[in-house]
Amino acid sequence: MAKEKKETADLTVEERLKALYQLQSLLSEIDKIKTLRGELPLEVKDLEDEVAGLETRIANLDNDIKDINFKIGRHKSDIDLAQGQMKKYQDQQNSVRNNREYDSLTKEIEYSELDNQLNDKKIREAQENIERITREADSYTLLIGDRREDLNLKKKSERL
C-alpha cells in the first residue's frame, strides 16, 4: 500500500488527469453497455411476442382459406345439383301436356341457370379472397423471417 501511494505521488498532475480521464471514459462506456443491456431483454421479449402474434395471424389466415375452400366446394356441389335439376326439367318439357306446365318448367330452368351464375360469381369472389389472403400470409411470413433474424442477433448479444 505504501508503495502504491508513493507511485501515485510520483505521477505528475498531467498524468493523473490523463489517467482520471481514461477511467472516466471507461466508466461511461460501461454505463452505456449496462443501459443497452438493460433494455435488451425487453426488446427480446417484444420481438418474441411479435413473432408469436404474426404466427397466430398466419394460422388464422390458413383457417380462413380452409373455410373459403369449404364454401367453394359447397357452391360447386350446388352447381352440380342445379345442372341435374335443369336436365330433369328439360326432359320433362318434352312430355308436357299444356302451356302452363311448359312455362313453369321453363321458369325453373331459368331459375337454375341464374342460381348457377350466382354460385359461379361466389366461387370467383372466394378465389380472389384466397389470393388476397395468400399474399397477406406471404408478407407475414417474410416479416416473421426478418423478426426472427433480429431476435437471434439480440439473443446472442444478450448472452455476451
Residue ranges of E strands in the chain: none
* Confidence band for 1, pLDDT divided at 50, 70 and 90: very low
Whether the per-residue pLDDT at 35 is higher than 80: the answer is: no
Neighbouring CB atoms inside 10 A of 54's CB total 19
% of the chain surpassing 70 pLDDT: 91
Q: What pLDDT sits at residue 5?
A: 54
Q: What is the pTM of this model?
A: 0.68
Which pLDDT band holds residue 74 (cuts at 50, 70, 90)?
A: very high
Grid cell digits, residue 36: 443497452
24, amino acid identity: Q
What values do phi and psi take at 95, rounded to 5? -120, 35
Rounded Cα distance, 67 and 62, in Å: 9
Residues 6+ apart with CB under 8 A from 8: 16
Residue 69's contacts (CB-CB under 8 Å, 6 or more residues apart) are: 130
Q: Alpha-carbon distance 78 to 112, whole Å? A: 10
CA distances from 74 to 41, 115, 125 (A): 50, 13, 14
Q: Write down the residue that cell numbers 460501461 correspond to.
A: 30
DSSP conformational letter for 128:
H
